Amino acid sequence: MSGCCGQGPVIVSGTTATPRMDVETVLLCDVLADGTVAATVLVEPVYDTSSGARIGTRTVDPATGADYTPAGTLGRCPTTTNCASETTPTATVGLCLADGTPIAITVVRDCDGAVAQEGWINLATGAFSAGAPPAGTMACGDSQSVQVSGTFCDIDAATGDVLGLVLIEYSYAADGTISSVRLVDAVTGTTYTPTGTITVCPAGVEQPDQDMAQLCDVQTDGTRVPMIRDYRRDENGAIVGHSDYTLDGSPYVPTGTVGTCDPPSGVDVETWPLCVLNTDGSVMQHIRAEQTYDATGAPSGLPRLVDAVTGGPIAIPGGATIGVCPAPEPCARQLLERCGCDDTDGDGVGDVKYTELWAVDPCNGEPPVLLGAYQDGDLTQPYTPVAPVECTAAEALPGPLSTGVRAVTGTAPQDIAGAFPGLQSVSLTVLSDRVLVSMSDGTAVPIPAGVTMTWSVAQDPDTALAAASFAGATATASYLLNWTHK
């Protein structure tokens, strides 16, 4: 006997012994018409012992070896499936606990395709927990362990006054429940201790406001660095903080004492213009020297040099010298200003004022050249008019002008308007002492050293300055005059 089940091939013996043949048996199933398996049977071949030829087939029960009569059709047994081992585990990620910890939800699918949740995995620790995840679980992008409410007010119960602006800060535990609540000052961000009743703000209460002021960072040597201080105020107008910036809006950290840009009371300041000159004598930078005097009139220290525009400290390049600024060339190009108006709303009236800068060449008779337009005369605000119109006083583009320049020392009067009836503008730069100036109102005004002033017509283009005379206060007075005339 041989084979995997039963007694093996059947050999029918005759009178002569024939060697036994080893032939594998076949295990088949008795499959009924409805597809169910009635039994598993063993099919055995039957051979002739004389010739060795196969003469038949025997079907037996593999368990008992007894003959088996099929009730259906003998065929290959269908593959069996163990559903318990065929479930497909999957995991859903992209979720977080209320405190932001990432997790994965594990689910399985059975043989019928039904999905069931087994539990969840803490992706930070790898720990598995059976059942549903804790309350508060949400998409990681929406997870917040801290939330802040809108603005509330601390109200004085007796007077109804607003004592402060308050935010309510909620902190959440990992299970999504609120773990703590904190009152926050809406202005400073610090913890707030109420003195009245926290409730909805009354109508009309505004958010904290800010205002700005230009100050100076006063250094130990007296140099004043201009700066902007932006104050924060609460709803009652009290200052609760500030931020500092340079004049161009960059953050600034003061290194001296922040104060006004004016000298302290009782201290007089004398200034005079100078220039930083290169080896050829050309102007590299306009500066000014300042000498401060105390209340007794005595100098409080050595003169200091500052930038003529910003008042900030200067750095003298190597090889440069400091000296009196050279007088302008008689035929140098002049810079003139013209006021303009822009009708931005289309009503025919100029509602935006701007200033045009024109370059005029009085020597060669070239037409004026427009260098640019600026809003409110501020060179940091370039402006492009969209619909220029005449301002209240009619103006016209400047025509070719003649210029003059004069360096004066002493008290001899200089009647510029009388000498040039078509006088359009005149500039005075006081180099030393003081200069008495008489304009159209007839009042003589003393202008101190270091000051530069300009007067020009601002009405009809055919008009001229009616009066413009200058005289040194003493014999040591020294000044420059520059003018334009038709």
* Three-state SS sequence of 39-100: EEEEEEEEEECCCCCEEEEEEECCCCCCECCCCCEEECCCCCCCHHHHCEEEEEEEEECCCC
Tokens of 405: 């320049």
CA angle 145, 150, 156 (to 5 degrees): 125
Claim to verify: residue 426 and residue 447 sit in the same structural domain: yes
Q: Which residue bears the tokens 């902190």?
A: 171
Is it the case that residue 5 has pLDDT exceeding 50?
no
71 and 88 within one domain: no
The Cα-based distances of 261 to 98, 217, 241, 302, 412 in angstroms read 54, 8, 21, 19, 36
Concatenated DSSP letters of 228-241: EEEEEE-TTS-EEE
Per-residue confidence at 309, pLDDT binned at 50, 70, 90?
A: low
**Neighbouring residues of 302: CB distance < 8 A, sequence distance ≥ 6:** none
- Report the domain count for the chain: 7
2 lies in a domain?
no
Collapsing DSSP states into helix, strand and coil, what is residue 105?
strand
Model confidence over 291-300: pLDDT tens digits? Answer: 776 656 666 6
Residue pair 287/310 in contact by the 8 Å Cβ criterion: no
Q: Are 61 and 34 in the same domain?
A: yes
Does one domain contain both 414 and 448? yes
Q: How far apart are CA 282 and CA 276, in angstroms?
A: 8
**Angle of CA points 287, 456, 411, to nearest 5°:** 65
CATH of the domain at 446: 2.60.120.10
Closest CA to 402 of 369, 365, 437: 365
- Give pLDDT tens digits for 192-227: 888 888 888 776 655 555 567 778 888 877 777 888
Query: What local confidence, expressed as pLDDT, does residue 6 receive?
Result: 45
Percent of the chain with pLDDT strictly greater than 70: 72
Q: 133 and 182: one domain?
A: no
- 87 and 117: one domain? yes
Q: What are phi and psi of 469, to 5 degrees?
A: -130, 150
Q: Is the pLDDT of residue 106 over 70?
A: yes
CA angle (111 as vertex; 109, 112 as ends), nearest 5: 90
Per-residue pLDDT tens for 329-361?
556 666 677 788 888 888 878 888 888 877 776
C-beta separation of 234 from 219 below 8 A: no
Residue 216: per-residue pLDDT: 84
Phi/psi region, residue 260 (left: phi>0; alpha: psi -120 to 50; beta: rest), is beta
Q: Domain for residue 341, yes or no?
A: yes
State which of 75, 104, 119 marks the end of a domain: 75
Per-residue pLDDT at 414: 92
Give the global pTM. Answer: 0.25
Q: Across the beta sheet with 197-199, what order do the strands follow?
A: 178-185, 162-172, 146-155, 197-199
For residue 117, the enclosing domain spans 83-142
> Is residue 439 domain-shared with residue 465, that is, in the same domain?
yes
One domain, residues 137 and 160: no
- Those residues whose C-beta lies under 8 Å from the C-beta of residue 336, and which sit 6 or more positions away, are 357, 358, 359, 360, 368, 398, 401, 425, 456, 484
Query: Which amino acid does the sequence have at 475?
Result: A
For residue 217, being part of any structural domain is answered with yes
Asked if pLDDT for residue 380 goes beyond 80, the answer is: no
SS3 of residue 120 by DSSP: strand
Residues whose CB falls within 8 Å of the CB of residue 421, separated by 6 or more in sequence, listed in order:
464, 485
Residue 394 lies in a domain: no
